[in-house]
Amino acid sequence: MTGFAGEYLAALAVFVLVACHYAAERLQHNRNLNRIPLRIHVNGTRGKSSVTRLIAAGLRAGGLVVVAKTTGSAARVILPDGSEWPMVRRGPANIRELVPFTAEAAALGADVIVVECMAVRPELQSFAEDKLVRAHIGVITTIRPDHEEVTGDGPGVARAFAGAIPREGTLVTTAAALDALAAAGAAPSGPVRLAVPDELPPASLAAFPGEVFPENVALALAVCELAGVDRAAALRGMRAARPDPGNVTVGEYAVAGRTFTLVNALAANDPESTRILWQRYAAGRASVILLNCRPDRKYRTVQLAEALAALHRGPYLIAGDGAFARRQLLRRGIAAADIRVIARPSSPADLAGYTGDGLLTIFAAGNVQGLESFLDCRTAGVNT
């Protein structure tokens, strides 16, 4: 046997072994999926982690064995008793982690898995749904411009999300998201259940320990009702749900005789979501924007600088990719005297020197990376 022929046969043998391995893995994964009677896939621009948690809590309260997985700012696996542990990754997030997650859920005897969609690229969203989740219920929370470098413009976002709609299941979404799908030529062909936030009695929201967005509660309730859990039981479970680490939080702090309110909107890192949260928590108040920017997401820095400059003329504290963010704000008419580049603070106390003498709101926006400690500095949870 010549050297070339030997190398060819060795390569062929490796290929066959790898192919057999993946075929066996796929077969076992399909068996694990079939052992789980109800599978729920939560997608959307914002609110995925919160809605995943609310659904899981509501279904648990209905007596179902639920295993859930969030991706978000701090990925978590939520066990049937409501306890949770962080995802341990050896590298970047990869949709293949759904395979061992499903195996673990099946081993735990799960009646339901609730999975936050972790794919961004359109082809991976379709693959995740068709091959890895095969959901009975799909959820789309919101459709807003995000990751345009991958999905394209607004219609591209909607078309990407459409790829993860279950082929033989029910889509739960809002009227706004459904309109966005239709406008993009991606209207679902299967059954749709609309969540209607306006139908929620105010009392059902007032009982939550922190403020919640009605849209998220309405979506979670619609899923729970499809799963056969009555509204009262589901709401009881949701009120006891642990907030996601990436949720917006609002806390009041007194440091060195100065008091300020910190609005942690770091995880809402697309322009539209940031605008919504600014209007809700900071508009009309004496405010400083803490803008934390990633050097590898310059397109997002440009977007946020444009959106924020239209809302707030200053002052700004810039952390992270400070020089680039400063240039973007200057180009949009923010005065140099109103922009200060600072080191990344490790806690709200580090911002005390920027609060002034009276009550001030510090609106933290941009990106979580490098400011993770803020996620542990909360006095009240706010689901977004």
Model confidence over 252-301: pLDDT tens digits?
777 767 778 888 888 777 788 888 889 888 888 888 999 998 888 888 88
| Pair 27, 74: CB distance under 8 Å | no
Using a 10 angstrom Cβ sphere, with 0-12 exposed, 13-18 middle and 19 or more buried, the burial of residue 126 is middle
pTM above 0.85, yes or no: no
Residue 321: Cβ-neighbour burial (10 angstroms; 0-12, 13-18, 19+):
buried
Q: How far is CA 328 from the centre of its chain?
A: 26
Q: Residues 180-236: pLDDT tens digits?
A: 999 888 888 889 999 988 888 887 887 787 667 889 999 999 999 999 999 999 999
> What is d(CA 195, CA 329) in angstroms, rounded to the nearest whole number?
38
pLDDT at site 177: 92
Same domain (yes/no): 298, 190: no
Q: Give the pairing of strands 258-264 and 249-255.
A: antiparallel
* Shared domain check, 97 and 168: yes
pLDDT confidence of residue 39: 97
Instruction: For residue 129, count other CB atoms closer than 10 A to its CB.
Output: 24
Model pLDDT, residue 378:
44
Regions of the chain where pLDDT drops below 50: 150-151, 378-384
Q: Indicate whether 8 belongs to any domain.
A: no
- Domain limit, last residue, from 239, 261, 291: 239
The answer to whether residues 209 and 269 belong to one domain is no
**In a shared domain, residues 140 and 166:** yes
Which tokens sit at 199?
């139908």
* Residue 9, pLDDT score: 61
Residue 222 lies in a domain: yes
Residues 263 and 372 in one domain: yes
Q: Could you tell me if 308 and 200 lie in one domain?
A: no
Judge whether 20 lies within some domain.
no
Q: Are residues 225 and 263 both part of a single domain?
A: no
| Domain match, 117 and 231 both | yes
Residue 22 domain-assigned?
no
pLDDT computed for residue 146 by the predictor: 59
pLDDT of amino acid 382 = 40
